[in-house]
Amino acid sequence: MTAQHSSGLLVPKYRPDGDSHPPLDTPEYGSSALRHPKRPLQLLPQYLTEVTGPLLGHDRVGETDHDLTVQHEGEPLGERIIVSGRVLDSDGKPVPETLLELWQANAAGRYRHAGDRHPAPLDPNFTGVGRAMTDADGCYRFVTIKPGAYPWRNHDNAWRPAHLHFSLFGQAFTQRLITQMYFPGDPLFYQDPIFNSVRDPAARERMISTFDLDTTVPEWALSYKFDIVLRGSEATVFEEEDDD
């Protein structure tokens, strides 16, 4: 890590990790051709406003935001699951009091979004969006429905593996990071160009959650563990905001 001096502030600046994080232009991932920058990136200075605010804390999280199965009058359809883990820094230390957002398709593989035209049913009792804060030990927990796979027309007979989207905030929107969590043993991994745009096999494995019987609730929900590491050799892979 190096530091950048900007208007009297010492702002951390990390070397890019091109071996783990996906390249901005991935030909197999068709829409990246229109999304990726065509010119060299320019580092924008971060001033006090960008570094310190707005603060994203408990006042941004509602009482049921962490449980996507109780946000409507009825229960959503599909397999109820628990997703929990820790947010850690590059030294393995917990990152407390940080905001996580989750969004996903429903059990039929459809997002509640006007742009999703997949001919699968919408669930009136499932919006597919949640929020949670990490505790003092960096732990978080969501209750949700296991998402379904869905077609996305990137290539012939293209289907996205089941996945959850996570975003993490530091102290401000400029520090937002986005990743995807996958489920173990998915048969669609081999043909998915988004998953495989991460060229390092070990880094791809870090995007796959682990089934955890110890935190499974008997006769109620299976459980998956997914730790998110922000920096270092064990870092989780992060992506561009526009990825599907």
Sign of CA dihedral 209, 182, 75, 56: positive
What pairing do the DSSP bridges indicate for beta strands 222-225 and 129-133? unpaired
DSSP for 131-187?
A: EEE--TTSEEEEEEEPPPPEE--SSTT-EEPPEEEEEEESSSGGG-EEEEEE-TT-T
Cα 33 to Cα 25, 36, 154, 155: the distances in Å are: 6, 6, 12, 14
| Length of the chain as a residue count | 244
Known active-site residue 111: yes
Phi/psi for 115 (5° steps) reads -85, -5
Q: Catalytic: which of 66, 80, 110, 111?
A: 111
Known active-site residue 150: yes
**Measured distance CA(169)–CA(108) in Å, rounded:** 29
Q: How many CB atoms lie within 10 A of CB 241?
A: 9
Known active-site residue 165: yes
Q: Catalytic: which of 21, 80, 110, 160?
A: 160
**Three-state SS at 48:** helix
Query: Do 154 and 160 form a contact (C-beta atoms < 8 A)?
Result: no
Q: Catalytic: which of 21, 163, 182, 206?
A: 163
Q: Catalytic: which of 29, 150, 182, 224?
A: 150
Which residues are marked as active site?
111, 150, 160, 163, 165
